[in-house]
Amino acid sequence: MPKLYVANKNYSSWSMRPWVLMKQAGIEFEEVTVRFGEGFGPGTEFSKTMSAISPTALVPLLVDGEVKVWDSLSIVEYLAETYPDKKIWPAQPAARAHARSICAEMHGGFRALRSACTMNIEADLSVPGAGVWRDNAGVRAEVQRIVDMWSELLAANAGSHADGMLFGHFSAADAYYAPVVIRLTRYALPVPDHIRAYMQRVQAMPGVKAWIDAALLEKAFVAMDEPYRISR
- Let me know: does 49 contact 6? Beta carbons within 8 Å: no
> If residue 62 lies in a helix (H) or strand (E), which one and from where to where?
strand 61-64
Identify the band that residue 44 occupies on the pLDDT scale cut at 50, 70 and 90.
Answer: confident
DSSP state at residue 42: T
Query: What percent of the chain stands above pLDDT 70?
Result: 99
48 pLDDT band (50/70/90 cuts)?
Answer: very high
Q: How far apart are CA 194 and CA 198, in angstroms?
A: 6
Whether 220 has a pLDDT exceeding 70, the answer reads yes
What does the pLDDT look like over 55-84, one tens digit per residue?
A: 999 999 999 999 999 999 999 999 999 999
What's the pLDDT at 38?
Answer: 72
Q: Average pLDDT of 130-146? A: 98
pLDDT at 39 over 70: no
pLDDT of residue 150: 98
- Model confidence pLDDT, tens digit, residues 73-125: 999 999 999 999 999 999 999 999 999 999 999 999 999 999 999 999 999 99
Q: 5 pairs with which residues across the strands?
A: 32, 61
CB atoms inside a 10 Å sphere around CB 224: 12
- Residue 37 near residue 44, CB atoms below 8 Å: yes
* Average pLDDT rounded to a whole number, residues 14-38: 95
Residue scoring higher pLDDT (160 or 195): 195
Average pLDDT, the chain: 96
Q: In whole angstroms, give the CA distance from residue 16 to residue 197.
A: 21
